[in-house]
Amino acid sequence: MTSTAAYAATSAGARLAPFTIDRRTPGARDVEIDILYCGVCHSDIHQARAEWGAAIFPMVPGHEIVGRVSRIGSDVTAFRVGDLAGVGCMVDSCRQCRECTDGEEQYCERGVTWTYNARDAKGAITFGGYSTRIVVDEAYTLRIPPALDLAGAAPLLCAGITTYSPLRHWKVGPGSTLGVLGLGGLGHMALKFGRAFGAHVVQFTTSPGKAADALRLGADEVVLSTDPAAMAARARSLDFILDTVSAPHDIDAALGLLKRDGTMTMVGVPDEPLSVAPFSLVSRRRSLAGSAIGGIAETQEMLDFCAAHGIVSDVEIIPIQQINDAYERMLRNDVKYRFVIDIASLARG
């Protein structure tokens, strides 16, 4: 065991504060990573506030982790000490079920071991990236291409793969019109991938002040979703919508934007059930779908795609001492477009 500095919530909704955790000594297939940067995902807020149901405390959030390998186990083949490495939302799964063997480990039938707010195979609580080091099986560790800016690469491990994977799955590309709902961490990555894949991209936002950024980030057009006339003008214009909104919102208004046979995929996970009028789907053979992150192999594919296309997240780097303020700012939609913690601030105390 190695004593490791971290920031934790000790109960639902408590302010995050300095906390010490133990990391296991690397086993034969483990990689120990000295964490450099960790992105701040809205899922960290949902879970630290127990908005998705029962949560495990103390909780050390953080699943957008980039760092440098400091130790490896005797059987590790894919990493050497000194390599860059990344960890996303998963640190283990059963490796045997149909989902795992298909490379869709995030849907493991026996249950994924999430990076935090979970228990590992031995029953120990998992702790995330708001900490100075982490120990992870090499099979769930990603290679970070050295060409990528490291702070900007951290959010790729969740916001990146969560938007890349559904755009690939639903074959968004040249000739398709993509709508993105919400311009936050996930939304801004969806704009970058939508443009890189060759789609015509329309950003829907509740924040008028984000319009110029949306165009810079990859949107061809921006629509203020609070303006009924602007929404009506877009009716039946989109082939695919990626819904990244973190709070309850009007699903029927969004479905009305889809053409016949269009699909809206939810990646945002508001903490309350949302209502859908059946006619929103029935009247134009529309589909409403969902998607969770992406498998390990697809996450590596996404990282390599980002290196080849010069894509990283637009980040605001913060010391960990500002994490509670960062949460409040995200809840006010005031993030451009991902907070990333400089973990050196934690080592400095």
List contacts with ligand NAP (CB under 6 A): 41-43, 46, 158-159, 162, 182-187, 205-207, 210, 244-247, 249, 267-269, 291-293, 330, 333, 335
Helix (H, G, I), strand (E, B) or coil at 27: coil
Supply the minimum distance, in Å, between the C-beta of residue 239 and ligand NAP.
Answer: 20
CB nearer ligand NAP, residue 26 or residue 294? 294
Alpha-carbon distance of 209 to 211, in angstroms, equals: 6
Which strand (E) or helix (H) includes residue 298?
helix 296-309
DSSP string, 119-150: B-TTSPBP--SSBSEEEEEGGG-EE--TTS-H
Based on the shown chain and the rule CB under 5 A, indicate whether residue 113 belongs to the binding site for Zn ion: no
Based on the shown chain and the rule CB under 5 A, indicate whether residue 108 belongs to the binding site for Zn ion: yes
Alpha-carbon distance of 214 to 58, in angstroms, equals: 37
* Cβ-count burial 198-236 (b if 16+ within 10 Å, e if not): ebbbbbbbbbeebbebbeebbbbbbbbbeeeeebeebee
Supply the minimum distance, in Å, between the C-beta of residue 307 and ligand NAP.
Answer: 21
Q: Residue 244 touches which of ligand NAP, Zn ion, none (CB < 5 to 8 A by kind)?
A: ligand NAP
Based on the shown chain and the rule CB under 5 A, indicate whether residue 97 belongs to the binding site for Zn ion: yes
CB nearer ligand NAP, residue 43 or residue 131? 43
Alpha-carbon distance of 91 to 139, in angstroms, equals: 8
Supply the minimum distance, in Å, between the C-beta of residue 43 and Zn ion.
Answer: 4
CB 90 within 8 A of CB 67: no
Alpha-carbon distance of 105 to 24, in angstroms, equals: 23
Based on the shown chain and the rule CB under 5 A, indicate whether residue 94 belongs to the binding site for Zn ion: yes
Which single residue brings its beta carbon nearest to ligand NAP? 184
Count of helix runs (H) and strand runs (E) in the chain:
12, 17
CB nearer ligand NAP, residue 46 or residue 195? 46
Supply the minimum distance, in Å, between the C-beta of residue 327 and ligand NAP.
Answer: 10
Alpha-carbon distance of 80 to 317, in angstroms, equals: 28
Q: Residue 112 touches which of Zn ion, ligand NAP, none (CB < 5 to 8 A by kind)?
A: none
CB nearer Zn ion, residue 288 or residue 296? 296
CB 346 within 8 A of CB 323: no
Supply the minimum distance, in Å, between the C-beta of residue 188 and ligand NAP.
Answer: 8
Supply the minimum distance, in Å, between the C-beta of residue 129 and Zn ion.
Answer: 11
Site size toward Zn ion (CB under 5 A) is 8
Q: Residue 200 touches which of ligand NAP, Zn ion, none (CB < 5 to 8 A by kind)?
A: none
**Residues of the shown chain interacting with Zn ion in the complex, contacts defined by CB under 5 A:** 41, 43, 93-94, 97, 100, 108, 158
